[in-house]
Amino acid sequence: MCLAILFLVYFFSVLFLSTFFFPMPINDAGIVRYRTIPWMTLALILVNTVVFAAWLAPDLYTPTSEETMMEPTDSYINKINTYGFSETNLRDPASVGALTTLTSMFMHADLWHLFGNMLFLWAFGRRVEDACGAWRYLLFYLVAGMVANVGSVIANPALNELPGIGASGAIAGVMGAYLLLFPGAQLVTLWGLGTILRVPIALFRKLMGQDAKLWKSTVSLPAWLLLIEFAVENTIPSLETIVQGTDTGGVNYLAHLTGFLAALTIFLFVRKDLLLRYVSGRSL
Amino acid sequence: MDAQTLFRQAVQAIREEKDLARGQALLRQTLELDPHNDRAWVWLASITRTPQKRMAYLERALAINPANEHALAMKARVQAALASAPTSPPPAAPAPATAPVPAPAPTPAGPPSIKVPLTAAEQKRVAALLDRADIYREAGDTEAAIQQWVEVLKIRVDHEAALGGAVSHLWRLGYREDARELLTRALESGSTMPFVYLTALDLAGRLQDYAWLNALRQQILAAECDEALLLAVIEQDVRQQQMAHALDFLEQAISHCPDSQPLLVRMGELLQEIGRGPEAKPYYERAAALGARTRAGKAADQKLMGFVPVLTDRERGSVGLAVREVAGVGLFFLLAGLQDAELSLLAMGPRRWMGVLVSLIGGYLLVTATSSPQQRRIASWLGGRLIEPDAPANDSGSQALEEPSRLPSIPPTERAVLGTVGLALLALALILVFNYTFDVLL
C-alpha cells in the first residue's frame, strides 16, 4: 500500500515536472469520421504494454541484491542485445537478425519510455487509424518504424553498435501522418505553464464580460504547432549526428526524424475516398 | 378657438381636404397656443419641404415626448435622406392631390431601360418622389402616395421601394389588375431583380392565377441560372411552409443548372430539414465535387462532415487506387529485404528481389479480395456480378461500401480464394526477403 502511494506520488510529480514547460498531448479533440473503434491503436498499446510488463519489467525492476536495487539484470541486457535493432545485429547470429527491426519496435527501456510513447500513440494514432482503416494503419506503423530504423543507421556515419529499442520511430511516423492529414486539428495537452498563463487572460476576458473559464487543467493547442516543435526538437540533434556521427546511445533523435519523414508514405495507406478528398482540398 | 379644435381642423385640412397650405397655417396657430403639442409638431414636420426644418420640428416633438413613434420613425427617415443625398436640393413641396389616383399612369414610350444607371438628376427626382410618397402615406393619402410611386416607376420600372409600395397599396385598395399591370411591366422590361419576381409570385398566388404562377416560375427557370433569384423563390416557398413546392422547384432548377453549388447545397439542406438526411448527401457530394474552395463548396464540405464517408464507383472501380495499396505492401517487404541485406540495395540478391515481386503479386490479390473487389474489367474477368441493393458488400469493418453500386463485384468464393492465395504468397515473400535471417534462425 505504502509502495503504491509512493509510486503514485512519484508518478504525478514526474508528470507535473515533465509537462510544466512543454505541452504533452493526451488526446485528439477532432471528429472520427468513420466511427470505428481504434482497435488497432488499442491493440498496439496493449502489445507494447504486455511485452514490457510481462517480459521486460520483471528483469528490469527485480532487485539483484540489496545494494543494487532496480539494476537491470543480465537477462534484460541479453534481451536488448538479441531483439534490439542495430547495424551489427543484422548479421549477429546471437540476435534475431533483420527481424530486430520489428521486435525492437515493441520493446521499451523503462516505464516512462513506455508511458510517453503510448500516450503519443493514443493521441495521434486514433485518428490516423480512422483515416487508414485498421490493417493499412498497422502496415503503415510498421513501415514507419522500419524507415526510422534504417534511417537512423544509414544517416549516422558512425557505427552504432548499441541496440535501439522503442516504438518512437513508428510513432513519429504516425505523428507526421497526422500533421499531413489534419494540420488544422486541435490537440488536448497537459501544459502547466500554459494553464497558469491562461488565468490572467481568462480573467481579462471575464472582466470584459466574455464567457471564460478561469481554471482548466488541459490546454488545447493546434496540432501543427506541437508537431513542428517536435520536428525542430529532433532535427537539431539529428543534424549533429549526421555531421559528426555518434554511438553514445540515449535518445535516438535521428530515428525520430526519419520516422517523422516516413509519414510521406501515408498516402499509400489511407482510404481511397479520403485520398481523393485530400487531393481535391476537401475536409477529411 | 382652442388649440385642440385648431389641431383637429388642421389634420382634417391635410388628410381630407388635401389643403396643405391651410393645414400648415392651422398647425402654426395651434402651436402658438399650445407649444407642447407633440403631435402638432409631427404633422407640421410631415408637410414641411426643407429637411433641416423638418428635423427641427421633429426634435421639438421628441423633446416633448421622446416616445413619439411617428416622430422617431420620421426622424430616422429624414436622417437617412440627408445622409444619402447631402448636396441635393430639398424636394419640391408635395402638390395636394385633388383626386384619387387609383390606377398607374401608362408609360407612353414603353418601360424605361433597367440596364442604364440613373443620372444624378433622376436620382434626385426619385428621392424627392419617394419622400413625398412617404409624407402622403403617413398623412393617410394613399392614392397620392401611389401616384408618387408610379412617377418613380416611370423613371425606373423596377424600383424596389416604389414598386413594392405601389403594388401593396393598390392591392389593399382593391386595384388588383393595376398592381399586376405594374409588375408585368417590370417583368417585361427584363428585370431580374428577385423582389419583382417574388412580388409577382405572391400576387399570382393571392389572385389564384395558377397559369400566371406557373408561367412566372418557368420564366425564372429559363433565366440563365440566376442563383440569387432561384434561391429567393425557394426561400419564399419555405417561408410560406410550402416545402413540397420548394423541393419541386429546386429539383427543376438543379436540372436546369446542374453545376450550381448554392442550389445543390440548398437542396441538401431542405432535405435534411424535412428529415430526409440520407437523400441530402448526394447533393452535398455533387456540390463539393464541383470545387471545395468556393463558399458553397466549403459549406457542402462542412455539411458532409456530419455524414459517414462512402466510396463512389469512381473509387471502387479504380485499379490505380488498388495498386497504390499494393505499393504500400511492397514497401514493407522492400524495407525488410533491405535490412536483411545489411542495408544495401545492391546486396539484396535475386531471392530478396523475388520476394519483393512475390509480395506485390500477393498484395494485389489480397487487396483485390478485400478492399478492392470491384476494379473495372478485372472484376468482370473474375466472374463479377452486380451486388443486389439488399446485400451490400463490406469493407473490413468500415461502412465505405454500403452505397449502391453499378459496378460488378467479385463473388465471395472467388474472393476467398484470391485472399488465401494472396496471404500464402505474402508468407512466401516474407521467407524470401528475410533470406539470411531465416537461414540463421532455422
pLDDT at B143: 86
Q: Using 50, 70 and 90 to split pLDDT, how confident is the model at B74? A: confident
Question: How many Å apart are CA B174 and CA B176, to the nearest integer?
Answer: 6
CB A140 within 8 A of CB B328: yes
pLDDT at B102: 40
Q: Which residue does chain B place closest to A89, by CA atoms?
A: B342
The residue ranges of chain A whose pLDDT is under 50 are none
CB B167 within 8 A of CB B203: yes
Question: How many Å apart are CA A147 and CA A251, to the nearest integer?
Answer: 17
Q: Report the 10 Å Cβ neighbour count for B120.
A: 10
**Three cell numbers at A145?**
518504424
b/e code A23-55 from CB counts within 10 Å (16+ = b):
bbbbbbebeebbebebebbeebbeebbebbeee
Residue A195 to chain B, least CA–CA distance (Å): 31
CB A83 within 8 A of CB A96: yes
Q: What is the pLDDT of residues B136-182, one digit of tens each?
A: 888 888 888 899 999 999 888 888 889 999 999 998 888 888 888 89
The sheet that has A24-28: what strands, in order across it? A24-28, A186-190, A219-222
A87, A135, A273 member nearest B400 (Cβ): A273
State yes or no: pLDDT of B94 exceeds 70. Answer: no
Residue A264 to chain B, least CA–CA distance (Å): 12
Contact B335 A35 (CB under 8 A): no
* Three-state DSSP state, A187: strand
Q: Using 50, 70 and 90 to split pLDDT, how confident is the model at B365? A: very high
E strand or H helix at A186, and its extent?
strand A186-190
C-alpha distances (whole Å) from A90 to each of A86, A103, A159, B183, B436 are: 7, 12, 13, 88, 9
Query: Residue B148: left (phi > 0), alpha (psi -120 to 50), or beta?
Result: alpha
CB B136 within 8 A of CB B144: yes
CATH class of B1-85: mainly alpha
Cβ under 8 Å to B: A residues 66-95: 87, 90-91, 93
Q: Which residue does chain B place closest to A262, by CA atoms?
A: B331
Residue A143 to chain B, least CA–CA distance (Å): 6
pLDDT at B109: 40
The residue count of chain B comes to 442
Nearest to A20 by CA among A211, A191, A167, A215: A191
pLDDT at A178: 95
Q: Which residue does chain B place closest to A91, by CA atoms?
A: B342
- Angle at alpha carbon of residue B28, lines to B23 and B34, rounded to 5°: 120
Range with the poorest average pLDDT among A139-143, A171-175, B94-98, B228-232:
B94-98
Whether B345 contacts chain A with CB within 8 A: no
State yes or no: pLDDT of B246 exceeds 70. Answer: yes
State yes or no: pLDDT of B85 exceeds 50. Answer: no
**Alpha helices, H only, B47-193:** 51-64, 69-84, 120-138, 142-155, 160-173, 176-188
Share above pLDDT 70 across residues of chain B, in percent, rounded to a whole number: 87
pLDDT at B400: 40
Whether B229 contacts chain A with CB within 8 A: no
**Three cell numbers at A117?**
510513447
Q: Using 50, 70 and 90 to split pLDDT, how confident is the model at B104? A: very low
Cβ under 8 Å to B: A residues 149-168: 149-150, 153-154
Question: How many Å apart are CA A60 and CA A114, to the nearest integer?
Answer: 13
Q: What is the pLDDT of residues A212-239, one digit of tens each?
A: 888 888 898 999 998 998 888 888 888 8
State yes or no: pLDDT of B232 exceeds 50. Answer: yes
Interface test with B, best of A100, A269, A271 (most B CBs within 10 A): A271
Tell me the chain B residues in contact with residue A283 when contact means C-beta distances shorter than 8 Å.
292, 301-302, 304-305
State yes or no: pLDDT of B394 exceeds 60. Answer: no
Q: Please identify which residue in the block is written with the cell numbers 500554459.
A: A194
> B200 burial class (0-12, 13-18, 19+ CB within 10 angstroms)?
buried
| Average pLDDT value for residue range B24-29 | 82
CB A128 within 8 A of CB A234: no
Contact A268 B325 (CB under 8 A): yes
Contact A146 B336 (CB under 8 A): yes
Contact A35 B308 (CB under 8 A): yes
Contact A268 B342 (CB under 8 A): no
Cβ under 8 Å to B: A residues 237-276: 265, 267-269, 271-276
Question: How many Å apart are CA A47 and CA A11, to the nearest integer?
Answer: 22
> B174 burial class (0-12, 13-18, 19+ CB within 10 angstroms)?
exposed
Question: How many Å apart are CA B219 and CA A117, to the nearest integer?
Answer: 66
Tell me the chain B residues in contact with residue A97 when contact means C-beta distances shorter than 8 Å.
340, 434, 436-437, 440-441
Residue A213 to chain B, least CA–CA distance (Å): 28
Whether B394 contacts chain A with CB within 8 A: no
Contact B325 A267 (CB under 8 A): no
Nearest to B51 by CA among B4, B109, B91, B3: B91
Mean pLDDT, chain B, rounded, equals: 82
CB A270 within 8 A of CB B336: no
Contact B289 A140 (CB under 8 A): no
pLDDT at B28: 81
Contact B331 A265 (CB under 8 A): yes
C-alpha distances (whole Å) from B314 to each of A272, B319, B320, B376, B407 are: 10, 10, 11, 9, 10
Give A99's DSSP letter. Answer: G
CB A168 within 8 A of CB A262: no
Tell me the chain B residues in contact with residue A96 when contact means C-beta distances shorter than 8 Å.
437, 441
- Domain spans in chain B, listed from the N-terminal domain onward: 1-85, 313-441
Share above pLDDT 90 across residues of chain B, in percent, rounded to a whole number: 27
- ipTM of this model? 0.90
B305, B308, B338 member nearest A34 (Cβ): B308
Q: Using 50, 70 and 90 to split pLDDT, how confident is the model at B101? A: very low
Q: How many beta-carbon pairs under 8 angstroms link A with B?
A: 120
DSSP codes of every residue in B190-240? T---HHHHHHHHHHHHHHT-HHHHHHHHHHHHHSS--HHHHHHHHHHHHHT
Residues 6+ apart with CB under 8 A from B168: B179
State yes or no: pLDDT of B96 exceeds 50. Answer: no
pLDDT at B352: 96
Q: What is the pLDDT of residues B280-333, one digit of tens each?
A: 888 998 898 888 888 888 899 888 888 888 788 889 999 999 999 999 999 999
Question: How many Å apart are CA A175 and CA B193, to the nearest integer?
Answer: 53
In this structure, are strands B385-386 and B408-409 parallel, antiparallel, or unpaired? antiparallel
Tell me the chain B residues in contact with residue A33 when contact means C-beta distances shorter than 8 Å.
305, 308-309
C-alpha distances (whole Å) from B183 to each of A41, A243, B158, B385, B408 are: 67, 82, 8, 59, 56
Whether B209 contacts chain A with CB within 8 A: no
pLDDT at B58: 85
Contact A265 B302 (CB under 8 A): no
Radius of gyration of chain A (CA): 20
**Three cell numbers at B203?**
400576387
Whether B323 contacts chain A with CB within 8 A: no
State yes or no: pLDDT of B395 exceeds 50. Answer: no
CB B340 within 8 A of CB B433: yes
Residues 6+ apart with CB under 8 A from B227: B257, B260, B262, B263
**Three cell numbers at B231?**
434561391
Give B395's DSSP letter. Answer: B
| Average pLDDT value for residue range B345-371 | 95
pLDDT at B355: 97
Contact B309 A98 (CB under 8 A): no
Q: Which residue does chain A place closest to B442, by CA atoms?
A: A96
